[in-house]
Amino acid sequence: MQKSGTKSKSSAGQFFAELTRKPIFIPIVALLLLAIFNLVMDPGFYAIALNHNSEGYPVLSGSLITILDNGSELAILAIGMTLVTAASGGQDISVGAAVAIAGSVILRVLCGTETQPESLQAPVIVAFLLACVVAMLFGAFNGALVAFFRIQPMVATLILYTAGRNIAAWINQNRLPIVSEPSFGYFGGTIPGIPIPTPFFIAVICVAIIALVLKFTTLGLYVQSVGINENSARLNGLNPKLIKILTFVILGLCVAVVGLIKVSRISTINYSVVAKDIEMDAILAVALGGNSLAGGKFNMAGSIMGAYTIQFLTTTLYKYNVPSEALPAYKAVVVIVLVVLSAPVVKARLGALGKKLSSKKNTAKEVG
């Protein structure tokens, strides 16, 4: 009895030591801290209720549902951002502006030249596919700057970051189209009869797709090889330039999906504030997921978890009346903690601590 107890304790310590070395350690700890904080402050945070929306359809509500709902965009962007980071060792800071462009394209197609059309001018799928094409082209543009001209990704994407929202405004000739067709709101709201927010489903689909792609293609191996050692990758027959561009194009696809959700949420767009600062959250999600922002190996599950962790934080901060403009300050604190946690020195210490704990417990048990 005593013996088995000792054993489990010791392996728990070892498990802890092992865990600190895993990249997913950071988002798990962050998520746990937030969860415990909310549990202590107000257990009602975790209440989920089944209500009906104004159209009489059932919807689930509660803070957790809100997190799953609003974290979707970030999770989707984190997928693309992870690949871009891994392959090119830098980040795309133009995703917010690109979301504005994709959203603007969707509204342009749906509304034509009218501001408030009676009916949709084109099916939503056409608008979405066109937005995908446009966003992927902009992604390819960013990727080409990075791959062919060897511009640091943050600098290369600064161009679109600067001009993107103006381009978005230009696409609709600065009009602010409004879609009155209720079915368009399903993508950012709920589908009648299904009580779970649609964005969450979309995020799940995206995650499933990338999981399948990573399983059934060599994308992961190629991207990591290019990110770790471009010369080696080339001498092993890869085309690093193409792979870098590919990651930016995939991010473009993610951007288009996010654009659809964003404009669907409020059925209109504001070019200057839609998806504002989302690039920083997406990059933070990647970092929170235990990925090195300098590229190389990546951990997709970690990034997605990181995205929901950030949304968890945001929702918690809203709950406690922190003004939205102060959110970046709190996120900055998270970044600092993160950077410190992921520093090799601290990791080694934590690992040692885990071992120490386990050995202490062992001796304590033996003495007792």
Is the torsion defined by CA of 307, 308, 313, 314 positive or negative? positive
| Binding segment (CB under 8 A) for other proteins, from list 161-169, 248-256, 301-309, 335-343 | 161-169
The tokens describing 219, both together, are: 């994308």
| Of the candidate residues 176, 211, 293, 341, the single one contacting other proteins (CB under 8 A) | 176
Question: Least Å distance between CB 221 and other proteins?
Answer: 6
Applying CB under 8 A, does 70 fall inside the site for other proteins? yes
Question: Least Å distance between CB 6 and other proteins?
Answer: 27
| Count of chain residues binding other proteins (CB under 8 A) | 72
Applying CB under 8 A, does 228 fall inside the site for other proteins? yes
Binding mask 300-319 for other proteins (x = CB under 8 A): --------------xx--xx
| Residues 117, 291 contacting (CB under 8 angstroms) | no
Residues in region 71-110 near other proteins by CB under 8 A: 97
Binding mask 4-43 for other proteins (x = CB under 8 A): ----------------------------------------
Residues contacting residue 1 through CB under 8 Å, at least 6 positions apart:
none
Toward other proteins, which CB reaches closer, 16 or 57? 57
Residues in region 188-227 near other proteins by CB under 8 A: 189-190, 215-219, 221-222, 224-225
Our CA angle for 144, 149, 153, nearest 5°, is 70
Cα 141 to chain centroid distance, Å, stands at 22
| Of the candidate residues 234, 347, 355, 365, the single one contacting other proteins (CB under 8 A) | 234
Question: Least Å distance between CB 361 and other proteins?
Answer: 27
Q: What share of residues in the chain are helix, strand, coil (percent, to 5)?
A: 75, 0, 25
Toward other proteins, which CB reaches closer, 7 or 55? 55
| Residues 86, 230 contacting (CB under 8 angstroms) | no
Residue 294 per-residue DSSP state: T
Toward other proteins, which CB reaches closer, 130 or 163? 163
Residue with tokens 């600098």: 155
Applying CB under 8 A, does 268 fall inside the site for other proteins? yes
Our CA angle for 206, 211, 216, nearest 5°, is 125
Instruction: Classify residue 270 as left (phi > 0), alpha (psi -120 to 50) or beta.
Output: beta
Task: Tell me the one-letter amino acid at 352.
Answer: A
Question: Least Å distance between CB 3 and other proteins?
Answer: 29
| Of the candidate residues 52, 349, 356, 360, the single one contacting other proteins (CB under 8 A) | 52
| Of the candidate residues 76, 120, 169, 260, the single one contacting other proteins (CB under 8 A) | 169
Applying CB under 8 A, does 162 fall inside the site for other proteins? yes
| Binding segment (CB under 8 A) for other proteins, from list 75-83, 202-210, 271-279, 300-308 | 271-279
DSSP per position, 221-282: HHHHHHHH-HHHHHHTT--HHHHHHHHHHHHHHHHHHHHHHHHHHHSS--TTTTTTTHHHHH
Toward other proteins, which CB reaches closer, 149 or 216? 216
CA dihedral of 266, 267, 269, 275, whole degrees rounded to 10:
50
Residue 136 per-residue DSSP state: H
| Binding segment (CB under 8 A) for other proteins, from list 21-29, 124-132, 260-268, 329-337 | 260-268
- Count CB-CB contacts under 10 A for residue 1: 5
Residues in region 321-360 near other proteins by CB under 8 A: 321-325
Toward other proteins, which CB reaches closer, 181 or 337? 181
Residue 60 per-residue DSSP state: E
| Residues 81, 253 contacting (CB under 8 angstroms) | no
Applying CB under 8 A, does 254 fall inside the site for other proteins? no
| Of the candidate residues 143, 296, 302, 306, the single one contacting other proteins (CB under 8 A) | 296
